[in-house]
Structure 1
């Protein structure tokens, strides 16, 4: 089952096991070296993240991940961040990321209005964590979706030109409920489609691995 989106590509579990809710999502990815995308721009970017909710359940997303950017001059930069949508994304400070590093993402909701996000750079051994509360009473989690995504994210109200991120594979993908863990079996594939053109190629390689190719 494939969905098309202007900004998301990857894998989404659109419903938890019957009668349960998702309270955790985790996975790993290797940080890519972005190349310039199409057209002329001052920079091109994309973001790799994992999160709870935001697909069929649209009120909120609890998420964390890493942005990668290449400037028109060829400079590559990385920022890691956390977000309880619809609040803004905030950068983790003092968490350095380089191409080729393995980043583990862990999203744990202790309730519908509270959660902890953790990024671990397994290549450097450094970890950052943040406990967040829902930004308001209408932005609580439903625990209905779990996702592993490359996003063409928005900045200052418009989408950034998408970088050629090569191939990013999320491995060790697990979503948890209070009583069980599930993988990618039955996940929906999401592809980015812009200006009538599909710019990604997503393959669910196993119950725990999804490959996203630009």
Structure 2
């Protein structure tokens, strides 16, 4: 009887050892598969991480000299991370922070609705990229797609800035600026109070005005 018990215990130990070995091999295989997947994601993001680097033309560059936020944002884009996916995650966070600052200190020449709109869209794209790259399961294709969309928004922003710069260089025709000021001053001078009396204007009581008909015959 004891002999059968020993055989049973020995067989059970072998079975448990076999199951444990299979579980260990399965875990190793899963870890290897996960590592390979992360490597592919990293390589795809590394390959697609190529930001717009066209230089701002000289005329527009003169207008953004005081816009440090734009300069710092472009500088942040220019430095590509290396080695690990965490480095790209840190870079995305830094880019997002610099993008949010673009709303500050916009030069007067570019402080226009069309520029503000482009900045808002650009910020949205950058924040989405930052969000996706920090997910547990990183959608590398989406991250790369957003890099391309950010480049598109940067190019559009620069074109809008160039247009405003060119418009600012068009000379105002002689007398046009003075005429605009005169029209503005005249508009400001028009009283909003109907009872207000302008120079050389007779005062007619409100009660009298109410009964006077301009079509009535006048007595000379």
TM over 0.5: no
* TM-score, normalization by structure 1: 0.20
TM-score by length of 2: 0.19
Instruction: Judging by fraction of residues, say which structure has more helix.
Output: 2
